Amino acid sequence: MSSVEASMEEEEEEEEAAAAPAEPMASAAAPAEPVASAAAPAEPVASAAAPAEPVASESPAAATATATATATTEAEKPSGAEVEEPAMECAASRCQFGDPSGEPALSLNQFKCKKFFVLRPGTLHQAIKEVKVLVEREVDSNIVGIWLMAEVDHWNNEKERLAVITDNFLLICKYDFVMFQCEQIQKVPLNMVDRICYGSFTFPPKSVLHRVGEGLRVFWDRLREPSFVTWWNPFATDLPYVTFTDHPVRNISEAFDIICDMDNFREQLKEAAQKAHKAKPVPGKANGVLLLNQDICVKAYFGFMSFLGNTNKMGYCMARGNLGF
């Protein structure tokens, strides 16, 4: 029994020895309290931020300037937005009509005139350049001016023409604006010109034809009347006069308005003819030019071909479209 009690006592002592180190570990956790107290110095940090209050109240003038600058910036932004918005709206409205380039929309008349080859860039400039080369300086002398006109023949057919006034002649040029070549030139001596009439177009009482607008007719032989064969020949070129009217593209732009100005052509032609009469008078003929404001009569009665040709502008170089099946 004593041995049993001895073994029990040994076991109790071993258990007490094993449990004894646990007390220092528990007491080791005690130093955690200074850690919590170490956080106490954080309070002066919070109090250190207190001096920031005098900074805000330190310069009221600076705060006012900052507020003013902010208000100015905010005021400028809406003004810039108001300037940009109309441009965007305008661009959007132009895009609605299929014109993103920003150019104004063409009228119906301007759209139809775009078919004329004379409106192609550089076409008229090339035509004038080639016609100037054809002018003989020794015979025709200096060029006074060049105009783009429309000729009206005795059958009321319109034909595209370039009218060139020199010191001695009036040149009526049939120019092909498609092939860039001058096909025909009719020369009229200015010292033979005796009358220049301008006014509205009229027709005989029994005529079924009608023409709107004004024209200009130049006579150069008042004593010679066209024969019966000449009147009824639509291709006759021996008439003692020529009739002009405005080209259809005159109002397309300011530049074409100048080169198609029939009033300027009339004045320049009158002055050049008077100078030619004085420089080279014709024997047996009264020297001088009469400028008359009267109606211009086209002696055509029933011209189906002229109606068809003028309606489709057959006398002009135009884009006729594609023909095919």
pLDDT per residue as tens digits for the range 262-287: 999 999 999 999 999 999 988 877 77
Classify residue 233: in a domain, yes or no: yes
Count: domains in the chain? 2
My answer on whether 170 and 247 are in the same domain is: yes
CA distances from 245 to 80, 151, 274 (A): 53, 6, 22
- Residue 223: domain span: 111-311
My answer on whether 81 and 226 are in the same domain is: no
My answer on whether 124 and 233 are in the same domain is: yes
pTM for the model stands at: 0.65
What per-residue confidence (pLDDT) applies to 232? 82
Classify residue 199: in a domain, yes or no: yes
My answer on whether 65 and 158 are in the same domain is: no
My answer on whether 132 and 63 are in the same domain is: no
Classify residue 39: in a domain, yes or no: no
Q: What is the CATH number of the domain that holds 170?
A: 2.30.29.30
Which token pair is 191? 């010292």
Classify residue 82: in a domain, yes or no: yes
What per-residue confidence (pLDDT) applies to 18? 56
My answer on whether 245 and 131 are in the same domain is: yes
My answer on whether 179 and 87 are in the same domain is: no
Q: Is 225 helix (H, G, I), strand (E, B) or coil?
A: coil
Q: pLDDT tens track of the chain, all 325 residues?
A: 445 455 566 666 666 655 554 444 434 334 444 433 333 344 443 343 344 444 444 444 455 555 555 554 454 444 444 444 444 444 433 433 334 444 555 565 555 667 899 999 999 999 999 999 999 999 999 999 999 999 999 999 999 999 999 999 999 999 999 999 999 999 999 999 999 999 999 999 888 888 889 999 999 987 777 777 888 888 888 889 999 999 999 988 899 999 999 999 999 999 999 999 999 988 877 778 999 999 999 988 877 788 888 888 899 998 876 554 4
My answer on whether 87 and 128 are in the same domain is: no
Question: Of 96, 119, 144, which one is at a domain's C-terminal end?
Answer: 96
From CA 268, how far away is CA 144, in angstroms rounded? 8
CB-count exposure of residue 244 (10 Å: 0-12, 13-18, 19+):
buried
| DSSP category for residue 190 | G
Classify residue 9: in a domain, yes or no: no
What per-residue confidence (pLDDT) applies to 131? 95
What per-residue confidence (pLDDT) applies to 300? 85
Classify residue 47: in a domain, yes or no: no
What per-residue confidence (pLDDT) applies to 46? 39
What per-residue confidence (pLDDT) applies to 202? 94
From CA 129, how far away is CA 122, in angstroms rounded? 10
My answer on whether 127 and 64 are in the same domain is: no
What per-residue confidence (pLDDT) applies to 93? 38
> 293: closest CA among 241, 240, 215?
215
CA distances from 3 to 9, 12, 39 (A): 10, 14, 59
Classify residue 103: in a domain, yes or no: no
My answer on whether 255 and 231 are in the same domain is: yes
From CA 214, how far away is CA 263, in angstroms rounded? 11
My answer on whether 148 and 70 are in the same domain is: no
From the CB of residue 191, how many other CB atoms can be counted at a distance below 10 Å? 21
Which token pair is 5? 């009690």
Q: Please give the torsion angle defined by the CA atoms of residues 173, 178, 183 and 186, in that order, rounded to the nearest 10 degrees.
A: -10
My answer on whether 189 and 221 are in the same domain is: yes
What per-residue confidence (pLDDT) applies to 107? 60
Classify residue 53: in a domain, yes or no: no
